[in-house]
Amino acid sequence: MLQNKYTFTQSSAELEIVGLPDYSKSDSEKKISIISKWKLSIIDQPDIEGGLDHLKLILQSFYKYSSLIILGKEEKLESKLIDINLDEDGLHNLLLKSTKPQVEPLKLKLGNAEFTDVLNCFDQLKQSENISFNFQTISPVYKKQGFNLRNKNKIKNILYPPLLAFLSISLITSSLLYLYESNQKRNEDITFKSKL
């Protein structure tokens, strides 16, 4: 039985998917429902290959990480197979952990351009009509965070300015009151002396 192969290309990245149609679901001959292997090639970087589970996890991590970057949240993501983080130079560090024993993890450094190329390749795969694959669990849904009491810094930021303002106002007014009182007493003394 011949396997089908599809490639998704975006500038410096190329994603190759190899698999078979699922005839039990009455797929056409050109379709891929059972992915047997995949390969991601990026210019100047080593090729990444794996099985269906690896692809799912990598896709999930890339989608989640891209959402984190867009939302400006913590730009570090760790999972069983892949760790992604943003370094000081604005480059994306990928650490791919092999499932095979005694194989050292692979470190990749992707620039913003390469990272978006890879992400666009994954988007093309997701939109492809020729590849049927359950992607439903991949897109993370982020909602706008409301007031979170557990965030200590947030509470500090909210409470400290008005507290400091109140303290400074009370200190200034109390010192002014003292001056006002002593001033008033002196005035009284002066009037008393003048009467004498």
Q: How buried is residue 125: exposed, middle or buried, by Cβ count under 10 Å (0-12/13-18/19+)? A: buried
Size of the site for another protein (CB under 8 A): 25
Provide the b/e sequence for 47-58 (b: ≥16 CB within 10 Å).
Answer: ebebeeebbbeb
The least CB distance from residue 171 to another protein, in Å, is 31
Residue 85 interacting with another protein (CB under 8 A):
no
Nearer to another protein, 113 or 171 (CB): 113
Taking a C-beta distance cutoff of 8 angstroms, is the pair 16, 121 a contact? Answer: no
Among 46, 51, 111, 161, binds another protein (CB under 8 A): 111
Provide the b/e sequence for 78-92 (b: ≥16 CB within 10 Å).
Answer: eeebbbbebeeeebb
The least CB distance from residue 17 to another protein, in Å, is 17
Q: Which two tokens stand for residue 173?
A: 């007014």
Residue 112 interacting with another protein (CB under 8 A):
yes
Among 93, 116, 128, 132, binds another protein (CB under 8 A): 116
Contact set with another protein (CB under 8 A): 11, 63, 66-67, 69-72, 90-91, 111-113, 116-117, 119-120, 123-124, 126-127, 139, 142-144
